[in-house]
Amino acid sequence: MDTKTKFDDGARMRTARGRTTRTKTGIALAVIVIAGGAWFYAAHHQSTPAANAPAALRHDVTVSRPAVEQLDTRLGFLGQFSAVDEVELRAQVGGTLTGIHFRDGDIVHKGDLLFTIDSVPYEIRLAQAKAQQQSAEARITLAKQELARAQELERGEAGTHQNVEQRTSELHAAQAALDAAAAEIRDARFDLDHCRIAAPFSGRIGRHLVSVGNLVAGSRGATSPTTLLATLVSLDPIHLDFDMSEPDYQSFLRYRGDARSAVANKVELATGAGEGADYSTQGTLDFVDNVIDRSSGTIHARATVPNPDLRLTPGEFSRVRLAVAHPAPTLLIPDASVLPDQSEHVVLTVAADGTVTPKRVETGEMRGGLRVIRSGLTREDRVIVDGLPYAAPGSKVTTREGAIRYEADRANETLAAQAK
């Protein structure tokens, strides 16, 4: 191969290598451009929602200032019902139980027959007492006749004064025997009558504790062991017992001293579940103890509650409210606006710039369909009453104005019931 040919072949090889290098460089630049475009596209589309996210989270909520009403202050207590009358039914005479005349748990009325005891031994005793009475009557008749003869003989000087005195004494002894026989009859009739055990008052009877055929022990004065047959409790009216702390008791005394006693002694109670239970049942505070318990610092109080439908039962618990202060401006908000926070309560408010601000509050009872706020809010606070799921503390929200309505009709019904 000549020199020219070698030169041409070298030039062609260098040209091919240059073209290959330029091709690789172009491909690399193309890859870089495509990757950069993809990154820009992705970055652009990912940053757009992030930039718009705060705007998307600005939800609308309804706010309102607290309602303000003139309301008295009431304190709540936990009470327990007890029967006005409660009795253990025990036999006053012994014998075999022959009849049970009620079903366990029945409502019985005063005078209803409940138990019967075998009366044959007491009928025999009554017959014996009557026979003794007849014997005493015969003796007194004879004593009167003999006294008359002795007196006639004394007047005719055929008898002595001593004989008259003896016949008079016999007459007095016969009269005493007659009185004893009459007492025996009353005693025997008492035992016979108490073979039938009746309800001493109206109420609910418990289960029978002795079956027919059992021998029961009885005693009038309970000086010896007696057999418990059943228990009976009255239901209408019914007592509600509860305890007041010393500060609450002092507040109540000041209020009762200034208010009409008929109103100050009224209580409201509820037996339903939950704090929002309806306090529609009314009672009258009729007893406050005369000493404060040193160990607990409380004083015992009792209210009497009508129970015409017999739905209240002794032993049942109930919440009770008692007025302890005169009417004053009171803030009220919907109960749904009060959020629990462990042992405290929080209300979400909205500041002027739209920031959700939580405030810790002290709550009271339900009045007129709203929750009483004792402290933690002012009249100017804007409380969130609708849209709470969209309001997080510290977030921004847009607001709509609402209104909190106090249900005066329900409050008036309660006041009217208290005045009766």
Q: Give the pair of three-digit tokens for residue 133.
A: 């009475």
Domain 67-82+238-419, CATH: 2.40.30.170
CA neighbor of 302 nearest in space, from 323, 285, 315: 285
Q: Give Cα separations from 223 to 89, 217, 220, 229, 233 (angstroms).
A: 16, 11, 8, 17, 24
* Confidence at residue 83, expressed as pLDDT on a 0 to 100 scale: 94
Distance (Å) of CA 48 to CA 45, 222, 285, 395? 5, 93, 69, 21
pLDDT tens for 151-169 read 777 677 766 777 777 778 8
Q: Does the pLDDT value for residue 19 go beyond 60?
A: no
User: For the segment 182-224, what is each residue's pLDDT rounded down to a tens digit?
Assistant: 898 998 999 899 999 999 999 999 999 999 999 998 887 666 6
Phi first, then psi, for residue 126 (nearest 5°) are -65, -40
- 6-20, 148-162, 270-284, 378-392: range with highest mean pLDDT: 378-392
Which residue has tokens 């909520």?
Answer: 61
- Straight-line distance from the first to the last Cα atom of the chain, in angstroms, rounded to the nearest whole number: 136
How far is Cα 93 from Cα 195, in angstroms, rounded to an integer? 7
Q: Let me know if 231 is exposed, middle or buried by CB neighbors in 10 A (0-12, 13-18, 19+).
A: middle
User: pLDDT tens-digit profile of 297-353?
Assistant: 999 999 999 999 888 899 999 888 887 777 888 899 999 999 988 888 999 999 988
Do the Cβ atoms of 301 and 244 come closer than 8 Å? yes
Say whether 119-194 and 67-82+238-419 share the same fold.
no
Between 385 and 144, the more confident residue is 385
Angle between helices 161-193 and 120-155 (to 10 degrees): 160
Give the global pTM: 0.62
Q: For position 267, what pLDDT does the model report?
A: 87
pLDDT score recorded for residue 39: 44
The pLDDT of residue 232: 95
Instruction: Quickly name the fold that domain 119-194 has.
Output: Helix Hairpins (1.10.287)
| Model confidence band, residue 97 (pLDDT cutoffs 50, 70, 90) | very high
pLDDT bin (cut points 50, 70, 90) of residue 264 is low
How much is the pLDDT for 70?
A: 85
Task: Show me where the domains of the chain are located.
Answer: 67-82+238-419, 86-111+204-233, 119-194
Predicted confidence (pLDDT) at residue 53 exceeds the cutoff of 90: no
> What is the tens place of the pLDDT at every residue in 222-252?
666 888 999 999 999 999 999 999 988 888 8
- pLDDT (0 to 100) of residue 148: 78
Tell me what the pLDDT averaged over the chain comes to: 79
